[in-house]
Amino acid sequence: MKNKRAGIIRKIVQIVFFVVIALIAVNHGLEKYGKTIPLVGSSSLHAVCPFGGVVSIYQFITEGSFVRMTHESSFILMIIVSVMAVFFGPAFCGWICPFGTLQELIGKLGRKLLGKRYNRIIPERLDRVLRYLRYFILVWVLFMTAVIGKVMFSSFDPYFTLFNFWTGHVAVSGLIILLITFLLSLLVERPYCKYACPYGAFLGLFNLFRIMPIRREKDTCISCGLCDKECPMNIKVSKSETIRNHQCISCMRCTSEQICPEDATVTLSILKKKRGVSSTQMAVILSIMFIGGVALSMAFNLWNTESKKRPSRFTEGVYLGYANPADIRGSFTLGNVSEAFGIDIKVLSEAFGVKSSNPSILKIKELESMTSSESDIHYGTDSIRLFVSRYKGVPYIPEEDTHLPLSAIRVLEDKLTPADLDELR
């Protein structure tokens, strides 16, 4: 490599963000055991993932609220990363994303095993078709999230699985996809980024109009092809003067600073024949934009990694303005539910057999550990949603495996018709 220092600078940025996200995820898992890592936040991974903001766009526009498990912080990060992308394209993917970093690290082993064949295994025709798969995944995720109102992609997301596998609260599908990604990373550089990442697909669109793309000066280019070989995304840099490929991640490995033997020939710059941004400058700019954006949102009290503990409201029909039980979340306490829906805390305690001296502070997700004495049936967040909807007479369709304890049905006896009670029983 022409300038090893430039490559090392990006690696340092990548490792720093990887460690920060790992510590936040671990701290969040330790929190329920009453243990935390000093000076490290304990936000859920959803709260510090900018893709959560993308999947919340529809609900935020239509209802003014966020998809379940995402928060204001996700929206703030989405805005910050999108502003970055307007200037530099998917620099988040190439410099910050922890999962992209891990794929690159595994790829180093693959490069040693396969040599020149590494990242050239998949036939070019098939590769071109597979590149658009991630856009179908993006559309599917956005559509399904808008329909069901919660982050459903986490069951398949290898990024979420990577930082949560040790908790035991990950789906088998996520583990399988994570393992496949690891294996493919030995053959192909950044396989998940290329073929499956929905957020990468979203950010890739910014390459079409970004202010500072990768540029190649044809007058000084000697057509050595080193830029093509070095590009992790297999982009033919030597065939274009301005790189607008939707898969460019702005890693700058193809630039004159790092691999191109001709000075000022391949650069990341605003205009042709202008001095490009160096890796050091890029690291500083991205860090300031990312950390500064978060700090600014905190200063204006916009940064929030926890639910505001109040459900969204119906926006149309006869229930306009009523609190929507579908938006009750596991992080809510019984006190939050009591206040939002006007149900006496004693009623909720009686319905779910809560014996606590202070039931108001009991989090709903803690009900998931409560088991019927008659059978191995668990009552969780959706049980609360179902009970509240029937108690208040507002619509809600529960999940197929949702159950109510007999104590809750007894509380509802004076509220429902005999037919409704039979259905619940």
- What SS3 state is found at 23? helix
Residue type, 320: L
Least confident of 84-88, 199-203, 257-261, 332-336: 332-336
pLDDT value for 372: 46
- Kindly state the greatest CA–CA separation across the chain: 84
Residue 322 CB-half CA count within 13 A: 15
Residue 57 has pLDDT above 50, yes or no: yes
Residues 332 and 284 occupy one common structural domain: no
Residues 332 and 200 occupy one common structural domain: no
Residues 197-216, mean pLDDT to the nearest whole number = 96
pLDDT value for 343: 92
- 261 is a domain residue: no
Alpha-helix runs per DSSP H in 123-205:
124-130, 133-148, 158-162, 172-184, 191-195, 198-204
Residues 343 and 285 occupy one common structural domain: no
Residues 362 and 417 occupy one common structural domain: yes
Residue type, 78: M
Residues 164 and 31 occupy one common structural domain: yes
Q: Which of 231, 264, 299 is the last residue of a domain?
A: 299
Residue pair 193/185 in contact (Cβ under 8 Å)? The answer is no
Name the residue with higher pLDDT: 101 or 412: 101
Per-residue tokens: 316:
């149309």
Residue 297 has pLDDT above 80, yes or no: yes
Mean pLDDT of the chain: 87
Count of other CB atoms within 10 angstroms of residue 378: 13
Is residue 40 very low, low, confident or very high in pLDDT (cuts 50, 70, 90)? low
Residue 175 has pLDDT above 50, yes or no: yes
Most confident of the following: 9-13, 53-57, 363-367: 9-13
Residue 36 has pLDDT above 80, yes or no: no
Say how far residue 197 (Cα) sits from the centre of its chain.
10
- 413 is a domain residue: yes
Residues 71 and 177 occupy one common structural domain: yes
Residue pair 294/303 in contact (Cβ under 8 Å)? The answer is yes
Residue 188 CB-half CA count within 13 A: 19
Residues 11 and 140 occupy one common structural domain: yes
Residues 283 and 380 occupy one common structural domain: no
Residue 376 has pLDDT above 60, yes or no: no
Is residue 238 very low, low, confident or very high in pLDDT (cuts 50, 70, 90)? very high
Residues 35 and 104 occupy one common structural domain: yes
For helices 4-31 and 98-114, angle between their N-to-C axes, nearest 10 degrees: 130
Give me the percent of the chain exceeding a pLDDT of 70: 92
Residues 341 and 393 occupy one common structural domain: yes
d(CA 187, CA 196): 16
Least confident of 28-32, 322-326, 369-373, 420-424: 369-373
b/e burial code for range 331-341 (CB count within 10 A of at least 16 → b): bbbbbbbbbbb
Residue pair 114/178 in contact (Cβ under 8 Å)? The answer is no
Beta strand 266-268 pairing with 214-216: antiparallel
Residue 97 has pLDDT above 90, yes or no: yes
Residue 92 has pLDDT above 80, yes or no: yes
Name the residue with higher pLDDT: 318 or 146: 318
Residues 48 and 184 occupy one common structural domain: yes
- 223 is a domain residue: no
Per-residue tokens: 326:
């579908």
Residue pair 216/243 in contact (Cβ under 8 Å)? The answer is yes
DSSP 323: B
Residues 379 and 285 occupy one common structural domain: no
Count up the domains in the chain and report the number: 2
Is residue 402 very low, low, confident or very high in pLDDT (cuts 50, 70, 90)? confident
Residue 48 has pLDDT above 90, yes or no: no
Residue 190 sits in which domain range?
A: 4-212+277-299
pLDDT value for 38: 62
Residues 224-248, mean pLDDT to the nearest whole number = 95
d(CA 83, CA 170): 32
pLDDT value for 240: 93
- 317 is a domain residue: no
- 250 is a domain residue: no
pLDDT value for 374: 47
DSSP 267: E
- 348 is a domain residue: yes
Residue pair 423/407 in contact (Cβ under 8 Å)? The answer is no
Count of other CB atoms within 10 angstroms of residue 281: 12
Percent helix, percent strand, percent coil in the chain, to nearest 5: 55, 5, 40
- 320 is a domain residue: no
